[in-house]
Amino acid sequence: MSDPKDYTVGWICAIVTEYVAAQAFLDERHDGPKYVLPHDNNDYTLGNIGKHNVVIAVLPEGEYGISSATSVARDMLHTFPNVRIGLMVGIGGGAPSSKHDIRLGDIVVSTPRDGKGGVFQYDFGKAIQDQSFQPTGFLNQPPTVLRTAVTGLKAQYESEGHRFEEAINSILEKKLRLREKYQRPAPSSDRLYQTGVVHPLNDERNCAVACGDHPLNLEPRGERTEVEDNPAIHYGLIASANQLMKDALLRDKFAKEYDILCFEMEAAGLMNQFPCLVIRGICDYSDTHKNKEWQGYAAMAAAAYAKDLLCRILPNKVEAESRISAIFSSALGAISNTRTNVETIRSRLDRYEKVEILTWLTPIDYGPQQSDNFKRRQSGTGQWLLDSGEYQTWLTTDEQTLFCPGIPGAGKTILTSIIRKYEQKIDDLLESLLKQLVQSQSSLPIFVIIDALDECQASDGCRARLLSELFTLQNIHKTNILATSRFIPDIVNQFEGKSESFEIRASREDNQQLQSEIKVSISEAVDRKFLLAQIYIRSLNDKVTSKAIRDVLQDIRKQTSGLILSWITCAKRQITTTELRRSLAVEFGKPKLDKDNLPEIQDMVSVYARLVTVDEESNIIWLVHYTTQEYLEKTWSSWFPDAQKDIIKAYVTYLSYNVFQTGFCQSDKEFEARLQTNILYDYAARYWGHHAHIALITEDLILNFLESRAKVSAVRQAMIALEGQIIGLLNNGSDLGKTGKVNADLKNRYGQTPLSLAAVGGNGAVAKLLLETVKVDADSKDQDGQTPLSQAAAVGHETVAKLLLETGKVNTESKDSFGQTPLSRAAGGGNEAAVELLLETGKVDADSRDQYGRTPLSKAAANRHEAVVKLLQSHSNLS
C-alpha cells in the first residue's frame, strides 16, 4: 500500500473514459493509498510517470460541473497533502473559427490570454445593454512551473512534432479491450456542421443518419498536410461553466468575443483552489450534433500530452513548489487570527448565499444598465427634476404617484436613471422589484421608478397587471411610484386622479457666448428631442476652434449634419462602409468617382459614437440603439427631408458614369469584373428605382439617364443577373415578353429559377416582369425545397412577397427540406413586414413546426426579434 505523503502531482478526471485514459499512460501502477480521511469519498489510482508520483481521481459517476470538481480537489488535497502541481485532463467541446482550425481529436491547453488566466468562467458575470458580456470573476493562472513546461514542449513540437499516435497505438496493442472505444475514428466521422444546421429535436440517431453530410450543411475544410500536426495542439482560453455548451450560435459568439478555443464543465471550480493546467481533447464541436465516438480517442490524446508535459518537468522543480494544501491552510490560519476577519468571511458567505437565492428568484439585473445610463448623464442634468416641488412632495410623502409623460427622445431614460429604472415583461418586472427590495433591505416608504411604461405590452395584459400590482402595493405598504411614458391616452388615463403629473422637457443652461449659440442652435434644431440633440452635440466633439464649431452649427441649422445618419436610415438594406463612402463621394455632374473625395471610416463613425457601429466581419454600418433606429425610421422625413432626393441623385449620377457607357456585358468574366471594380454598382442598380419612387423626383438627371439605352441596359443586367448567377438570361437586354425564346423556369445547379433569384435579391421589377409577361412557375422549388415566396420572406423582400401572393398561385404553407414555411423563415429572419403580409392572408398556420419542433414564434424569440414576437403574439390573441 502506498503512502499518500509520497505523491506530488494531482491529476483529476471528470468521467470514466478520461479516468481509463489517464491510467493507461502511467509508467507504473502503485497499490492503493494506505489510508484516506473519513470524509474523503474519492476513488484514487496511484502510479508514476517518469520520475513523478501521480495521484489520479475521478468525479462521482453522473456528477458534473464546477462544484463537483471543487469537492474532488479539496478531498484530494486533504488526503494527499504534498501535492504541489495539478492537472485537469479530459475531453471538451471545440470552438472552431476562422482563426483556429480546431478538429476532433485535437488538444487544447489552457494558457493565459488578454489578462485571463487560461480558464474563463462564462456563466459568471454581468450583461450590460449595448455592451458585450462582462465577466466579474477572476480565475488564477496555472503555476509558473507548468506554464514554463508548456512553452518548452511547444518549442519541441514545433521543431520535431509529437508522437501521440505512436504512444496511443502502443497502448492499444497491449490493451486489446480498449481498441474499439479508444482508437482514432475514421476521418469521415469528423463533420463540422454550419451554425444554422441543428440536430433534429429528440432524434437519437447518429448525425450521419439524422443530419447527413450534404456539402451545403457542412463547413468546408481541407485535409491536413503531412507537415501539419494531426492531432494539432492549440493554446489559449478554455471556457468553463456549470452547463454543457450545445449551442453553435453561443459558441461562435464567445469564440469571437473572447477567442475561446474549447468549452467544458469543471475547470472553473478548480483554478482558485487547485491551481492547475487544463488539458482537453476535442470530442465534439459544442453544438447539437452528437459524436460520442470521438470521446475515447480525445481522452487518450489529452493524456498523451499530459505525460509528455510531466516528463519535461524535473522532480526538483516540483519539490520547489509550495504544497497546494499549505497555501490554503496558511491563508485560513491568517484569517482566523482575528474576530474581524472571521466575521468578514462569514459576511461574504452570507452574501454569496443571498446572491444565489436572488439569482434563483430572477437572473435579470438592471443595476449595471442603470449605472451605465447614469454615467452618460452630464453633470447638472436633471437637477431641475430633483429640485421640483412635485418630486420633493413625492420623495417626502407616503403613498404618492408621480407620472411624467414626454415625447420620444426627450431624455426620460437618463432622468429616471438618476433615481432607479425597471422595464421589460411583467414577471421580470415584479421579480426584479422583489429582488431589489431584498438586496437593499430598504425601510419604508418604498420608492419604485418605472421608465418607458409605454414599452410594456398592452395586448397581453402586461401593462394593466403591472399597474394593478403596483397600486395594490402602494395601498398596502405606502409605496411611492414614479413613472415615465410617451403620450399614450390609455396610460395617461390610468394615472388621472392618482398622481401628480408634469411633462419632461430637455433642460437648458446658460453659459458664455459660444456655448449659448450652441445651445440655441441645437435646441431649435431638435425641438426638445434628446437623442437628436445627442447626435448633434457629438458632431462638435473634435472641433477645436470657434470657427469650426460655428461652421458645424450652420450645417445643423440647415439640417445637413445628419447626412450619414440619413443614408443609414433610408437605405433599402443594410449597407457597408465601403458602399457608404462611395455614396457620399459622388459629385453631381462628374463622369467618374474621385477617390480623393472618399471620407474616412473612422471619421464617419466617430461623429456618432454610441449611436453607430461597424460590424467587423460584414463591414456593415448600422444604428446600435433600437430606440434611435425606430425614432429615425419614423421621423426621417422631418429631420432629413431631402434625404431621398440626395440619395437618388447620387445613385443616378453613379449609374451615369462613363464606365457604364458600354452597356450590357457580353461575358460572365466581364460582368464580374464590373461588379468588383464598381463597388456601388450592385446597390445603385437594384434600388435606385425604390429611392426615386419615394422621392417623387422627375428631374432632368433621371430623364437623361433613362434616355441612355446603354446605361439602362447595364442597370438591367445587374438587376436580372442577381449576383451573376443567371448572367446571359437576357440576350443583350432584349425584352422577355417579345422574344418568347427564353426558358423562364430554367434552373441553375442549385435548382433556382430566375424568379427565385429575383426573390432572393429583392428585385421587384424583375419579379413583376417575369410574373406578368412570361409563364413562370411561381411555386417552383430549389434543391432545398424553398419556393420564391419562402426566399423573399426569409430575407425580408416584402415587395416581391406581395407580388407573389397577389398571383394567387403560391402555396403559403409550402415546407422546405427542413420543414420551414415562408412564415417561419420570415419570423426567424426578423422580417416584420413579410410576417405581417403572410398573416394578413389568413392562409398560414402561425403554430406550424419545422423538423426541429420550432414554431415561428419560438424562432423569432430565439433570435431576439422583438417586433416579430409582438406581431405573432398579437395575431394569436386576435385568433
How far is residue 605's CA from residue 614's CA, in Å, rounded to a whole number? 8
C-alpha cell at 556: 445643423
Q: Which of 782, 787, 792, 753 is nearest to 770 (CA)?
A: 753
Measured from the Cβ of residue 263, the count of other Cβ atoms closer than 10 Å reads: 29
The alpha carbon dihedral of 774, 779, 785, 786 has a sign of positive
C-alpha cell at 179: 481498441
User: Residues 177-207, buried b or exposed e (16+ Cβ, 10 A)?
Assistant: ebeebbebbeeeebbbbeeebbbbeeeeeeb
DSSP state of 659: G
Helix, strand, or coil (residue 612):
strand
C-alpha cell at 618: 460584414
Beta-sheet strands, E only, within 276-385 = 276-284
Domains detected in the chain: 4-191+228-330 (3.40.50.1580), 367-501 (3.40.50), 513-557 (no CATH), 735-879 (1.25.40.20)
Helix, strand, or coil (residue 605):
helix
How far is residue 15's CA from residue 63's CA, in Å, rounded to a whole number? 9
Segment (H or E) for 74: helix 66-79
Segment (H or E) for 164: helix 164-174
Q: What is the pLDDT of residue 289?
A: 86
Report strand pairing: 612-614 vs 107-110.
Answer: unpaired
Q: What is the pLDDT of residue 216?
A: 79
How far is residue 769's CA from residue 744's CA, in Å, rounded to a whole number? 11
Strand partners, 92: 282
How far is residue 767's CA from residue 689's CA, in Å, rounded to a whole number? 14
Q: In this predicted model, what pLDDT tens digit does every residue of 686-721 receive, in sequence order?
A: 888 777 777 766 566 777 777 778 888 888 777 766
Backbone angles phi, psi at 817, to 5 degrees: -65, -20
> Maximum Cα–Cα distance for the chain, whole Å?
99
Helix, strand, or coil (residue 29):
strand
Q: In this predicted model, what pLDDT tens digit does every residue of 466-509 receive, in sequence order?
A: 888 888 877 777 788 888 887 677 787 787 777 666 655 443 33
Calculate Rg over the CA atoms of the chain: 33
pTM, two decimal places: 0.43
C-alpha cell at 499: 398622481
C-alpha cell at 767: 419579379
Strand partners, 91: 281
User: Residues 836-862, buried b or exposed e (16+ Cβ, 10 A)?
Assistant: bbbbeeeebebebbbbbebbbbbbbbe
Inter-CA distances, 444 with 9, 417, 429, 479, 678, Å: 57, 21, 20, 8, 67
Series of mean pLDDT values for 10-residue runs along the chain (879 residues):
86 93 96 86 94 94 79 88 92 93 96 80 54 52 89 92 94 94 92 86 76 82 87 93 85 89 86 84 90 92 96 90 70 44 51 54 52 56 72 74 66 63 51 58 63 72 80 78 78 76 47 64 58 65 69 59 74 83 85 82 60 76 66 72 84 88 82 85 82 67 76 78 41 39 64 80 76 81 86 84 89 88 88 90 89 84 83 75
Report residue 190 CA to chain centroid gap: 26
Strand partners, 119: 238
**What one-character-per-residue DSSP string does 799-857 give?**
HHHHHHHHHT-S-TT---TTS--HHHHHHHTT-HHHHHHHHHHT---TT---TTS--HH
Q: What is the pLDDT of residue 121?
A: 83
CA-CA-CA-CA dihedral for 307, 312, 313, 314, to nearest 10: 120
The alpha carbon dihedral of 15, 20, 21, 25 has a sign of positive
How far is residue 425's CA from residue 431's CA, in Å, rounded to a whole number? 10
How far is residue 615's CA from residue 609's CA, in Å, rounded to a whole number? 14
Q: What is the pLDDT of residue 407?
A: 57
How far is residue 47's CA from residue 31's CA, in Å, rounded to a whole number? 8
Q: What is the pLDDT of residue 150?
A: 94
DSSP state of 660: G
In the block, cell 437565492 appears at 357
Q: Which of 253, 427, 240, 200 is nearest to 864 (CA)?
A: 253
Measured from the Cβ of residue 106, the count of other Cβ atoms closer than 10 Å reads: 25
C-alpha cell at 122: 462564462
How far is residue 470's CA from residue 481's CA, in Å, rounded to a whole number? 8
**Burial class, 801, CB count within 10 angstroms (exposed 0-12 / middle 13-18 / buried 19+):** buried
Strand partners, 93: 263, 284
Residues in the chain: 879
